[in-house]
């Protein structure tokens, strides 16, 4: 018997490499879900891990850190919040400013 | 919206279960909630009393702290405490801009206030209570409290 595949649809699932039941301490949404402002999970709404090993949705922790009252401290342990991978912070922070440059004139 | 999704989650959880001595009285909207707290140990200052708390949330909650005051009405008084003014305003670092953290929530604030009362032995008002109550026109979040006293 010969089977001819005419069409196939691949479906994939993904999740962040984080404990299953954990939620972001700021928005209380699961890490695999989005922050309270985004619609779609994934690269558009990434997580940020601090040097103190506390992680949050990047948008959530940025909302907090830009408040003067946060004194740039981690909401969990009150140590100065520094991203563990400095690249991630830089990329996230620069994204909005870079976007206009990349559009063709 | 930041506040509404997070408050919705808190509400669902609180409608399920709350720690002893904490009751959700009213949460009809996402701006003002009323909760009752009781002190459950034998502290004679608070025995048998129920105190009512009013939470006011900004649209930026939990990035911004909620405003939390004790409410006085026919059946609820303002608890005696050296850090609670006669008008219900509470001086607690947790509720102040400098001490708030977005990982706190309504339930944890209630628990903190319960423990603030439980551990108190002084049936007193803060120093300057009379003047503060008469002349203060600021909202609690705009007052610059000085947290000088860690003993109570």
Output phi, psi for A57, to 5 deg.
Answer: -60, 140
B36-42 own/partner pairs: CB under 8 Å, 24+ apart: B36/B76, B37/B110, B37/B113, B37/B114, B37/B117, B38/B114, B39/B114, B39/B117, B39/B118, B40/B114, B40/B118, B41/B118
Task: Give pLDDT tens digits for A65-95.
Answer: 999 999 999 999 999 999 987 554 444 444 4
pLDDT means over runs of 10, chain B (152 residues) = 88 94 96 96 94 96 96 96 96 91 97 96 94 88 76 66
**Domains of chain B, CATH where assigned:** 2-140 (3.10.110.10)
Alpha-carbon gap, residue A99 to A37, rounded angstroms: 20
Return the structure tokens found at B44.
Answer: 């004679």
CATH class of A17-88: alpha beta
Q: Is A45 on the interface with B (CB under 8 A)?
A: no
Q: In this predicted structure, what is the pLDDT of residue A14?
A: 83
- In this model, does residue A105 exceed pLDDT 80? no
- The answer to whether B2 contacts A29, with C-beta atoms less than 8 Å apart, is no
Mean pLDDT of chain A: 82
- The answer to whether B102 contacts A60, with C-beta atoms less than 8 Å apart, is yes
- In this model, does residue A97 exceed pLDDT 60? no
Chain B: give the shortest CA distance to residue A81, in Å. 13
User: Considering the entire predicted model, what is its pTM?
Assistant: 0.82
Domain boundaries, chain A: 17-88
Q: By 3-state DSSP, what share of chain A in percent is helix, strand and coil, each rounded to 5?
A: 25, 15, 60
Write down the catalytic residue from B7, B91, B109, B113.
B91
- The answer to whether B100 contacts A69, with C-beta atoms less than 8 Å apart, is yes
């Amino acid at each position: 018997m010969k089977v001819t595949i005419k069409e196939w649809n691949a479906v994939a699932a993904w999740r962040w490499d984080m404990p299953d039941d954990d939620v972001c301490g700021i928005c209380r949404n699961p890490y695999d879900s989005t922050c309270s402002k985004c619609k779609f999970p994934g690269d558009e709404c990434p997580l940020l891990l601090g040097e103190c090993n506390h992680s949050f949705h990047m948008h959530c922790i940025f909302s907090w850190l830009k408040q003067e009252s946060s004194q740039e401290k981690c909401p969990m342990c009150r140590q100065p919040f520094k991203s563990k991978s400095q690249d991630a912070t830089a990329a996230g922070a620069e994204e909005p400013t870079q976007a206009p440059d990349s559009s063709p004139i | 919206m930041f506040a509404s999704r997070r408050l919705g989650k808190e509400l669902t959880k609180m409608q399920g279960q709350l720690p002893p001595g904490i009751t959700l009285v009213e949460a009809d909207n996402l701006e003002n909630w009323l909760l009752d707290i009781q002190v459950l140990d034998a502290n004679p200052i608070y025995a048998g009393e129920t105190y009512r708390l009013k939470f006011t949330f900004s649209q930026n909650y939990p990035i911004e702290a909620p405003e939390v005051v004790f409410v006085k009405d026919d059946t609820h008084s303002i608890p005696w405490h050296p850090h609670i003014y006669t008008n219900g305003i509470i001086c607690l670092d947790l509720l102040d801009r400098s001490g708030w953290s977005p990982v706190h929530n309504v339930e944890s604030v209630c628990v903190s206030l319960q423990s603030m009362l439980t551990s108190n032995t002084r049936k007193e008002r803060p120093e300057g209570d009379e003047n503060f109550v008469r002349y203060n026109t600021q909202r609690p979040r705009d007052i610059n409290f000085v947290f000088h006293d860690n003993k109570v």
